[in-house]
Structure 1
């Protein structure tokens, strides 16, 4: 056992004395040591139930003959961090989570790991750590929140809450209605109920083969979630016995499968940051060119909120992620011969998982669209790429041209939108919000929700070198690369310039001559990022300029 390095032999006598200090018995030390990485805390709604999930995992490990050892991982609530300096810290926690989990796992020589995450950066951070450490590992999340219900019976969720702010500013709803949204949008613990980043990544963990069926979709408040956690604790012991490791599971085929499922589900655009980063840690190249290749042949089968009016709990009842994968397999859009954390192949996992509700999961022969839910756009405004959640764009905005309204930070853009300064046809440009320029690559849910709340979703686009949540709707194009802070073309846009968006043809262009762009580039001067603390300062110094590439922090600087 790997843990023999810290518990067996003459030289390990001091180590055993420290295990004695923990109250461990000789019998416990004779069993595999299983690290349980618990992301429990009392500030993130998606994590407030993880103490129960962690305890259920402990029970499963004990039942299967292992010795469970719990240690923590941090997590930020993106909703609470939204719209202020706190959002600058969200994305960097992915790197902190990966680094600190790697340190704990290797320092203590665990034989296996069970990751217990739930929210936006926590899931990809732990997947990155799993690939790095490469000891038998399995995931179980805390599960999604149930959808809320308004007094009139309409179902609701967090993205509606953000949009209600814009609706109130536009005078479309009153204070009483806003308060009703506040009290009903987030009715239970769990990751927010739409196909936002947290639920996207939990579903993709299933698609990767790193979690048992139901991990991405069983609601947080259901007892099935506790049973899933116990079975996960049992299954890690089987993975240890068979020595099945993350890099055996997360190979190139599995990562391409995850991207295909991403396109079918209509996941968050943030997945285009996280999947390449996970692939990088697993030694696999997965870039934005691959994304468009897979999107071109993968149909979009689900329109979960915010793209539609159905929720993760509905996907669960319809058959979950495996049912979606079964649909894709009908057209040979997945590789199905690889091993997964169940100990079975992908095909053995999904072959009996039927689509129980074709209104929630469209049959592969009758998709919402023949192409995937995410598109990568390129052009002279984004030569290295940009990302849009195509499944959530209204038909009227799939092709659009309009004058640029330019802002150098999120706050100024929001003030202009809510102040009625943005008109139909405008393209709102928010720059210097990238990984280095922000620093931290803030999520732009507030401005895009304000556009929707003001009733401009069908008329205005928003582009940024920041990023977008899975909760964003409309022609919201993020992850513009290179970012403004390193002289990317978005830094050269001037007020009133015409911007051309053509999502069907994957194009994003500034209608300015090459010579004029060169003149502006020659006159452009770098700006110092607005950093105030050690964590942001270190992050801004390390971050790569190609922010839509595989990693946010250059591997040689880790």
Structure 2
């Protein structure tokens, strides 16, 4: 029982594997430490406290995505110290190095958000660089925020050394200190970062006061951990657990629970077993493990960003996965978990009813949606990991619904095509926003004018808000936005963008439009007043402008120059692939 868990039973991290019985560890680092010509390497290792006896031990890179400026990441160095403690106990030499992070929550709605998706590649590049340059035998990564998880996975596939990924954990919900009757909230209600995102929209249109807005801003994030709903971070932590790259319960254990520190200490024992088995990331990641992951994203109502990240991760793992696989899985997968942003609950609530393992056990026992034969970092298959896990019970919880009463009979992720998005767009359709939208386009080529228009009351019901030049090349970096729901427009307007929307977004929202505006996609040619129809049943997104008019507009369209002329964003814009293949840039 965790000291933080109240009177609810919390399932702890599983017991580590049995002793190795003398199985010889694979060694990648020996050329650095045992080749006498490498005396300089040995001297430098001695200088940082590695003893002569340590030179025969496997060297493990420990890579927390640590920095102080974000609750998702500011505790990760403390968790890394727990991982290092576990390495020492297991006779491994743990060597900690850090990498960069970007806070989506802090950069939302600013030019800084353009750096968020590129940070995924910087994380991957930096972990790959250190592990390969230092010839570490394995790696334990500790990610926190949205792009951290796929960055760590892409790195693991590139260096392909035995790897365990420990998610830094979800935040616990904040508590309202002020009544907010206009939005149906009262003092004592739980809230989270999505409320903070939406508070500006609500304030801008006069639905809440400055006092009520500040209450949300000051109390929605009470401490360490990633955003608490089923936003991108918790979506991707769930993906990692189902892919088999993290330990059971890693996805749902809150950052401040004692179990999270225990998981960090135990990770080294599992990594040691991976070394003994020579079990590497590319041995674990298969097409079926990715299909399992897509299934769980649909079951839990996860972020559309999962599409982008899973495609990039699969490519790094040399696994054949296309954007159409997401629709095929969604068509056969029910949406069961009533989690924010569309539902009532947060990740901590899912943990209290058994976490991802209980959900997997239920699906494995009652459907053919999950392939339990897939290998994991425990050295066992997914099904073997679940043998002692209690199955979900429905009599005393409604965080997850039974198969007989889904929130939606099929998945919420939807791949759209049409003359506005010939090469696909990604929608998040939960059923609560309806299945069809017909409206008039209101176009923005950058985000600041949108907020001005919102404040002036120029965004009205029946509009299809077009955010363009926000794609991988045009942004560059596919910046996110989230504001319509707070303004009370989520069910009355649609948001269409070649960029991304926050995992905390809800309503009729269409992102990842390909081709993007920067390369001359149809979204670049839309004008205010054009009619747009989104049909979820047909999976279509149509722009009702005849071909002759489209041709005239295309002839007038002028290719823009890259917004940046040098640096990270220039390189990203120059090299990045389209969103429908994962926006990779290697």
Asked if these proteins are the same fold (TM beyond 0.5), I'd say yes
> Is the alpha carbon distance of 1:275 and 1:485 closer, same or farther for their aligned partners in structure 2, counting shifts above 3 Å?
same
Secondary structure of 2:513's match? strand
Residue in structure 1 matched with residue 468 of structure 2 by the alignment: 431
Secondary structure of 1:376's match? strand
* Structure 2 residue 577 is the aligned partner of structure 1 residue 539: no
Q: Following the alignment from structure 1 to structure 2, what is the Cα–Cα distance between the partners of residues 395 and 17?
A: 64
* Structure 2 residue 85 is the aligned partner of structure 1 residue 59: yes
* Structure 2 residue 582 is the aligned partner of structure 1 residue 550: yes
* Structure 2 residue 353 is the aligned partner of structure 1 residue 318: yes
- What whole-Å deviation, never above 9, does each CA across 1:436-483 have from its counterpart, x for those lacking one? 1111110122xxx2x212211121001000101110010111110110
* Structure 2 residue 31 is the aligned partner of structure 1 residue 5: yes
Count of residue pairs the alignment pairs up: 547
Tell me the CA shift for residue 119 of structure 1: 0.7
Q: Following the alignment from structure 1 to structure 2, what is the Cα–Cα distance between the partners of residues 23 and 452?
A: 54
- Provide the TM-score with structure 1 as the length reference: 0.96
Residue in structure 1 matched with residue 448 of structure 2 by the alignment: 411
Residue in structure 2 matched with residue 290 of structure 1 by the alignment: 325
1:127-526 matches, cutoff 5 A: 127-151=153-177, 152-329=187-364, 330-353=366-389, 354-357=391-394, 358-391=397-430, 394-396=432-434, 398-445=435-482, 449=483, 451-526=484-559
Secondary structure of 2:402's match? coil
Tell me the CA shift for residue 365 of structure 1: 2.8
Runs of 4+ in 1 over 4 A off after TM superposition: none
Secondary structure of 1:91's match? helix
Tell me the CA shift for residue 503 of structure 1: 1.6
Q: Following the alignment from structure 1 to structure 2, what is the Cα–Cα distance between the partners of residues 280 and 134?
A: 14
Tell me the CA shift for residue 431 of structure 1: 0.4
Tell me the CA shift for residue 505 of structure 1: 2.3
Q: Following the alignment from structure 1 to structure 2, what is the Cα–Cα distance between the partners of residues 372 and 18?
A: 53
Structure 1 residue runs of 5 or longer lacking an equivalent are: none
> Is the alpha carbon distance of 1:356 and 1:187 closer, same or farther for their aligned partners in structure 2, counting shifts above 3 Å?
farther
Tell me the CA shift for residue 532 of structure 1: 6.0
Instruction: Report the aligned-residue RMSD.
Output: 1.3
- Provide the TM-score with structure 2 as the length reference: 0.91
Q: Following the alignment from structure 1 to structure 2, what is the Cα–Cα distance between the partners of residues 54 and 390?
A: 38
Q: Following the alignment from structure 1 to structure 2, what is the Cα–Cα distance between the partners of residues 251 and 483?
A: 30
Does the CA-based 8 Å contact 1:443-1:468 persist in structure 2?
yes
Q: Following the alignment from structure 2 to structure 1, what is the Cα–Cα distance between the partners of residues 410 and 102?
A: 33
Q: Following the alignment from structure 2 to structure 1, what is the Cα–Cα distance between the partners of residues 403 and 28?
A: 45
Q: Following the alignment from structure 1 to structure 2, what is the Cα–Cα distance between the partners of residues 390 and 287?
A: 20
Q: Following the alignment from structure 2 to structure 1, what is the Cα–Cα distance between the partners of residues 347 and 537?
A: 27
Does the CA-based 8 Å contact 1:262-1:373 persist in structure 2?
no
Does the CA-based 8 Å contact 2:433-2:507 persist in structure 1?
no
Structure 2 residue runs of 5 or longer lacking an equivalent are: 1-26, 178-186
Does the CA-based 8 Å contact 1:280-1:551 persist in structure 2?
no
Does the CA-based 8 Å contact 1:435-1:552 persist in structure 2?
no
